[in-house]
Structure 1
């Protein structure tokens, strides 16, 4: 059986995801160059491009940053290994900020959930939160939502940061490789598809592992 958070937590998830989608629509309508095609700005930033790129990935917690395009730009501007390292740093940093926001927002969650719901959610997030961070780290909107939600639980910082590192590593390398190879836009879409497929495989592996652990014959 797939773990499901208590009903009261649906309000928290809906609010977080809805806010992210609303901000995305606003940015798209405004046509902010840095948030629609960051490569030209990063290229013009020179030595500061590394700092700006990492900052953009971290800011993805609150601002609808096209993280995949930033990671591609890292590869194009800095090469495979440095580009992947920068993307890894930014991705883990985004999770850390989201997790910290969840820690600070625990009081707000307490207002919209019951003690019984919180106890159940804490048990689920303690057990599944790290895997959820790993699986959703490459997924827009869900990555930030899960990081914040995990922060409201007893999940410990080291586990959250390790999960963020694992979940960000492969996408960071794939996007950096594509950027370093100066791929065309269609290939960038292909890389995004591969990253999403990887996330799906990780989710399936986690589900099968949980079923095996519950099996009396395991």
Structure 2
């Protein structure tokens, strides 16, 4: 679709570069391996991208697979989390029939789906599978192997890299590296962040690759 419309925005349909950072970089790598994206772009840039992909079973959180996955579909759409939905509807989601699952999700409003995730996230890890190797876009071999497969990967110029000191962004919210102090003497208590070990913080932040 973008290739068909890019000329209306001053772009060249035969000289398209896609770009993404972090999860966006992940998406760029996925498009490089996806057969559906063939001939849609001519160059690609992936900043701090990664090649992780999950099986359908891992994404759903079935049979205790992927223990870290508290936000897998089956975990989220459980009786305990979805009090606003009838049990019959939840059973529809747990069905093996993909069409039943699809119709179930279409019957929900976007607001109700987002609210379910917001409610669950309060008591879980901030973690969920983002890319499935289910033979729809990415094959069951996984993204990394698909990128190495000459029958799938695209023969185009690609820039890969990692942002300098990027990890320092995540270290800044980790209690092992920083201490957050909330002053109660101010009308608006803006938190003060104290780095516990500046040397360690600097070393870890610079070794993010």
TM-score calculated relative to the size of structure 1: 0.24
Greater C-alpha Rg: 2
Of Structure 1 and Structure 2, the greater helix share is in: 1
TM-score calculated relative to the size of structure 2: 0.25
Higher relative contact order (CA 8 A, sep 6+): 1
